[in-house]
Structure 1
């Protein structure tokens, strides 16, 4: 019995990861509809793990169930994204002031300086590693302020924005800008310039926000056009 349960959970995890990857890579685009049977057939999975994976994605806000008509990739809500960015900026600005008011410089600041001020450009991270480091940069700064509730709420916002924020590192110019801007924020913190650090952080987040919106719209348009081409070719055949 335990072995069967473990196998079922493992399949549910695999279906979850596959569907989430499809959503993140725009193979499934906002508004796409599908059934549990479609997913099961494509991923060679039975209904139970498919349903478990879909409910998990629903809880995380990626899909929604449609009454008597299957599932749908949740339509992109740009207003909600803007509001989450606003809240994120408020929390991170407050963290800058709290850090500068501390009696001692947190170890996290020294660690972040070592990461974002490499001795040579060749030491910079690439690809998914940059995305992970960028997320850690912002989360670690808020955590360094020492307010546990602020840290918890900020992590929740980070989780909800991950689907768009990861796109910020698909362009080399944005990777370069991130290194420069992170270094400037840390320099302001190290010299105890709270307002300067907060302003630099705000400019950095707003630039990223603008870039990911543009890239998201571009990727959705490209994916929708690819979907139309496939549908047209299938109709011709």
Structure 2
């Protein structure tokens, strides 16, 4: 299992800042498939690779455990938490509820919120991006911007947290060119329906759009996960 980290010398940062750096790096390794669901590892391995002591590593891992990304086995070390497909489907159901309500509120506004014009510029007017992972990032921003523009800060916060929890699934979805092209077309249709205050049509298109991504969850296999690992790390064995 490949982990990334600095070998440029023992990090002298304060413990809290060091643990946070390790936490962010490990989370990125998980989201980028350098660490796959089910991969096992030890605190010593991460400490060695990142050239730090075990104390900030342990703190970072407990943060990740609390968020549901890793789990600990006291006799055999740690592992990246395997996919729980029912859990992801429940998150998608919640996502649909939040975003449909946001669209309903946007369609009843007298004035179109400014963020929607920025979304229109990116998804309709500007040239399309081709890199799937880059499009995945902008796809997240599209949906978060819709919810934020609806004006309920607490709803937007819950949606942001939800977005991070399903990020790993969405990144797998965007490894396919067809999904990239469909995302552009579907986002454009959703935006136009909202701007034309077509509430039911906008909600229908949004629900269909999310349902396709949700359906991909059940198609994910271990083979797909290994294919998603960066090529220069694909042959690196897990510990």
Q: CA 1:12 to 1:118, structure 2 compared with 1: closer, same or farther past 3 Å?
A: same
- Matching residue of 2:182: 177
The alpha-carbon deviation at position 15 of structure 1 amounts to 3.1
Match of residue 235 from structure 1: none
Equivalent position to 1:125, from 125, 129, 146: 129
1:142 has 2:147 as partner: yes
C-alpha distance in structure 1 between counterparts of 2:180 and 2:163, whole Å: 19
Partner of 1:93: 100
Structure 1, unaligned runs of 5 or more: 232-237
- The superposition leaves residues 31-86 of structure 1 with CA deviations (integer Å, 9 ceiling, x where unpaired) of 23222112222333211221122123223321012234321211211000000000
Residue 118 of structure 1, CA deviation: 2.3
Alpha-carbon distance in structure 1 between the residues aligned to 2:96 and 2:27: 27
Q: Secondary structure at the match of 2:151?
A: coil
Give the structure with the higher percent helix: 1
Larger Rg: 1
Ranked by relative contact order (alpha carbons within 8 Å, sequence separation 6 or more), the top structure is 2
Q: Is the 8 A contact 2:36 2:226 kept in 1?
A: no
1:192 is the counterpart of 2:197: yes
Question: 2-side partners of 1:118 and 1:223: how far apart?
Answer: 31
Residues 1:61 and 2:65 are matched in the alignment:
no
CA displacement, residues 196-215 of structure 1 (integer Å, 9 cap, x when unaligned)? 00010011111122235434
2:120 is aligned to 113
- Cα distance, 1:109–1:22 mapped onto 2, change above 3 Å: closer
Residue 220 (structure 1) aligns with = 225
For residues 42 and 24 of structure 1, the distance between their equivalents in structure 2, rounded to whole angstroms, comes to 19
Deviates more, 1:123-132 or 1:169-178: 123-132
Q: How many residues align?
A: 223
